[in-house]
A and B are shown apart, each in its own frame.
Chain A
């Protein structure tokens, strides 16, 4: 097991956001976290990358206990977090954003930069443009590209399809798949669009108010009554 969370607790001012979550990601896997607003999906990613301190539980990555490490010590272990809402540096150019992504490395790996430009040719076309002038989809691709620059082995993606047109979302998902397949990067994906997330991933967890209520392979989850009723919007 490359990445494992045991009984993770996170509280915000006394309110439990995560209440004993177990979760794991194997090498080469795409794993999705599904759940409604306030289920704790983003909190889980924020705890993994060190943005919030867990109140209890452990997080192991490649046999290294990263539970209480600050973010700047977690990034070099090979975990990269692309935050919700993309959060590109709007005033910096596309290329400056990507270079910022390599901050944790002692040098910039131009092979990774080339891979990103191959994957997202539009970023290459616009590399001298400030990121604030990009469309939502392009900003999402930039955010993903930026998080690849630190050469992660595990990529945390928070709502990559948020606010994007269906066609653009589809494009983003296909890029995620390609990153996983060609770069052998494991991905922990948070998504509100449960159907799309399950189609993309190997396994999934369903979170409700800070707890895992269901987990399994994507096929199993797709067929489960709970998912059908609450998240996939299909009648039985």
Chain B
């Protein structure tokens, strides 16, 4: 397999992982104008929960993988909802800065809880959670994990697209992210809608956390920061508040980073990537899918 297609697949895989996390940032920002800095740590939490749950589920045999994935996703969804209820909801009418401080604090609480429960040393992610090995497409071979990640990315994108545009709750999310108080006046139940947004962001982020664990084989309690920041940048690149933007922003960042490491040098990858991103934002300040606010008043 030539280097180009190898890099392409790596980039798409990495980008999809970032996209899974970016989704949570962008959806919460869209509705509450809040950068949920605790999100990266929720993603880490998912990976560590999988470390604990996977051995317990082994008894279930072939279903172990599904049971672990479901248990982790459900747990993280519940924790995400609790996070919103405890750390954000009481501050909804407060200045945005207070909310950001609360988000940073919540992130530290989660991160330190992970360290206290699972320890400060890197942990090996369970190898049996996703199928190992290579899939062959004519002369190109791709790991099963990459195939799973890419398929999940497409699945999540399509599901969310349909959910947001065709369901009642989806329309409420769209309305709330356009104009919070007017959506309220239309009869949108704000508390329920916000809860659903945290649930979706947490669930997809949890999936991302486990896939990161499987891709890089070890996880650390502090990894949420690096992935969180990169995913946050992906969300901004795509246009914060835009759901397809989060996914495509992730892919763009992943591809740029991977091609820079492949063709320039891995030491320079971050520098070159972010230089290109800054240039892109200079020309498209609202990101790829950001709303251009044409509004007559």
Contact = CB atoms under 8 A, between A and B. Distances in A.
Nearest to A150: B187
A92 B184 contact: no
Contacts of A145: none
Contact of B184 (A51, A101, A136): A51
A194 to B, nearest CB: 24
Contacts of A134: 296
A71 B188 CA distance: 8
B190 interface: yes
Nearest to A138: B296
Contacts of A85: 297
B172 interface: yes
A76 interface: yes
Contact of B187 (A87, A104, A163): A104
Interface in A57-80: 70-72, 75-76, 80
Contacts of A101: 186
Nearest to A81: B185
A136 B297 CA distance: 7
A147 B161 CA distance: 27
Interface string A133-146: 11110010000001
Contacts of A130: 294
B184 A72 contact: yes
A100 B172 CA distance: 9
B175 A89 contact: yes
B189 interface: yes
Contacts of B181: 51, 83, 87
Interface in A109-142: 130, 132-136, 139
Interface residues of B, number: 22
B184 A139 contact: no
Interface string A77-113: 0001101010101111000000011011000000000
B182 interface: yes
Given A89-B179, A91-B178, A103-B172, A71 B185 contact: yes
A186 interface: no
Question: Which among B175, B179, B187, B191 has the highest number of chain A CB atoms within 10 Å?
Answer: B187
Interface string B133-176: 00000000000000000000000000000000000100110010
A72 B295 contact: no
A192 interface: no
Nearest to B184: A71
B291 interface: yes
A133 B182 contact: no
B176 to A, nearest CB: 11
A85 B295 CA distance: 12
Nearest to A139: B296
Contacts of B179: 87, 89
Nearest to A143: B182
Contacts of A43: none
B187 A72 contact: yes
B186 A150 contact: yes
B190 A72 contact: yes
B280 to A, nearest CB: 22
B296 A103 contact: no
Interface of A: 49-51, 70-72, 75-76, 80-81, 83, 85, 87, 89-92, 100-101, 103-104, 130, 132-136, 139, 146-147, 150, 163
